[in-house]
Structure 1
Amino acid sequence: MKSRADHSTYSLKPEGKSMHGRIVGELGGAIVGGEFKPGDKLPAEAELLERYAVSRPVLREAVRVLVAKGLVVSRQRAGAIVRPRNEWHLLDPDVLYWLIQAKPQREFVQTLLEVRRIFEPAAAALAARAATEPQLKSIEQAFEGMAAATTTEELLEPDLAFHRRIAEATGNDLLAYIGNMLSLALRESIILSSQLPNTHALSLPRHKAILTALQNRDPLGARQATLVQLEETSDDLSTILASNGSVNLA
């Protein structure tokens, strides 16, 4: 099974990647994890050059990556300063990975469910109106992949595809982008909920109800079926967290 680390550019172990990647991963994780607060300066360039034993161009390129991710602003003479949290590019796969790693698991689950309750019902309702026939077929194929799965590993990709393709079927490029960027966080939710022994059997009818509403061009039905799915998912995740405490998914 792929873990969180498989879906982040800078999340691999330091021994297996470039120094540039190591610098980005360590500094990015430290910022998102709260070691550096908004308004704080990163260590001085001379200190970082000594710590990582790299050339100045390599270090500056790493800082440029952090700038591009919205985590820091680089100012001449002042150095790299951590930006306010609301300016971070939280849907960037690496930033999202660092956020997942930094948050307590229960808090992460709650954050994700809040986003899903806002995003997915509205996306499903819009897709019920806007989806093309090929798009509906692709959603159906993803569901068939879920139905054929016999393990969590086999279930994961078609389940992710089901939700991603609904976002794509809205015909709204921005919604499709958001749906795609949420895949990393959704992956964690699916892996966690799959710890319940009967979750696959229970989730199939819920997804089938969403698919049927989409095929019937029923926006209200698609919205309601999605809300039901999310409430059942919330119950599943609450049960797992209550029984297992904090679970390491990495």
Structure 2
Amino acid sequence: MVETADIEDRGSAVDQVVDALRRLMRERNLGLGDALPSEAELASMFNSSRNTVREAIRILKAYGIVESRQKVGAVITDRRQQALMDQFSFAIDISAESFLDIQGFRRLIEVNLCDLLFSSIDDAAIETLRSINDSMKAAPELSQAAALDFKFHATLVGFAGNQTLSQVYGILQPLLQRLMEAGKRSREAVDNAYDEHSDIIEALIKRDRIAYAYHMNRHLQAGLQFIAPNAV
């Protein structure tokens, strides 16, 4: 394990700390937004100096893998991946065809999460979903409502307890949120989404697989009516 492994004398000590940090991320299953241990803790774990650890973290920062945050320290990020997704989101046309493609991808994930959700969701999670849904309905701007719509679905996916799926939704946020904005060009669309979210929540409470699948499918399809054939 990385925690007990000494950094050997061969090669650059900094390079070996960089390698050790990569192993640490894998072994602890650290993802976007997770913080690394402090410099002092890393130096002790790797039997290295704090200066060497600091230089290794500087290299990871240069590659866009971590960033420094006040009172937190080094946090895992991926600015290169985010920039790529921002560019992809900007370039893709939001049309009826692309809407169906993207929602088809979401359907494969969100509709089929019911068993994981039913086994893990509790009263606190239900209240969190209700609170997000209420905030979406009350949002004064349609763009804010779209952001809260994304938050509702990302939170729902998070409650399934699969870190990889949560990270995928985080990576796809610019694209999915732009799609949601295209599907919420009227207050009617927001009100409809609120009602559809409420139906999904009720199905979760009752642990009703058929109702959950029906309401989620209906919700993911509903926004199409608000997207013009040549919408961008």
After TM superposition, is the score higher than 0.5?
A: yes
Give the partner amino acid of 2:223: T
Equivalent in the alignment of 1:214 = 204
Instruction: Pick from 78, 88, 102 the counterpart of residue 99 of structure 1.
Output: 88
Deviations 1:166-219 (A, max 9, x none): 001112222222233332222101111112452112222111101111122223
CA shift in 2, pair 1:231/1:110, >3 Å: closer
Structure 2: distance between partners of 1:65 and 1:109: 34
Equivalent in the alignment of 1:234 = 224
Give the partner amino acid of 2:154: R
Equivalent in the alignment of 1:130 = 120
Number of aligned pairs?
A: 158
Alignment partner of 2:228: what SS?
helix
CA shift in 2, pair 1:157/1:197, >3 Å: closer
CA shift in 2, pair 1:185/1:225, >3 Å: same
Equivalent in the alignment of 1:3 = none
Equivalent in the alignment of 1:141 = 131
1:74-89 aligned at under 5 Å gives the runs none
Q: CA deviation at 1:116?
A: 1.2
CA shift in 2, pair 1:218/1:145, >3 Å: same
Structure 2: distance between partners of 1:97 and 1:203: 25
Whose Rg is larger?
Answer: 2
CA shift in 2, pair 1:190/1:103, >3 Å: closer
Structure 2: distance between partners of 1:229 and 1:141: 18
Deviations 1:12-47 (A, max 9, x none): xxxxxxxxxxxxxxxxxxxxxxxxxxxxxxxxxxxx
1:184 aligns with 2:193: no
Instruction: Pick from 155, 160, 163 the counterpart of residue 145 of structure 2.
Output: 155
Structure 1: distance between partners of 2:145 and 2:115: 24
CA contact (8 A) 1:146 1:155 kept: yes
CA contact (8 A) 2:133 2:148 kept: yes
Give the partner amino acid of 2:178: E
Structure 2: distance between partners of 1:220 and 1:178: 26
CA contact (8 A) 1:129 1:217 kept: no
Name the TM-score, length of structure 2 as normaliser. 0.58
CA contact (8 A) 2:184 2:223 kept: no
Gaps of 5+ in 2: 1-58, 66-77
Name the TM-score, length of structure 1 as normaliser. 0.55
CA contact (8 A) 1:128 1:217 kept: yes
Deviations 1:144-185 (A, max 9, x none): 112222321331332121101100111222222223333222
CA contact (8 A) 2:111 2:212 kept: yes
Alignment partner of 2:219: what SS?
helix
Gaps of 5+ in 1: 1-60, 69-88
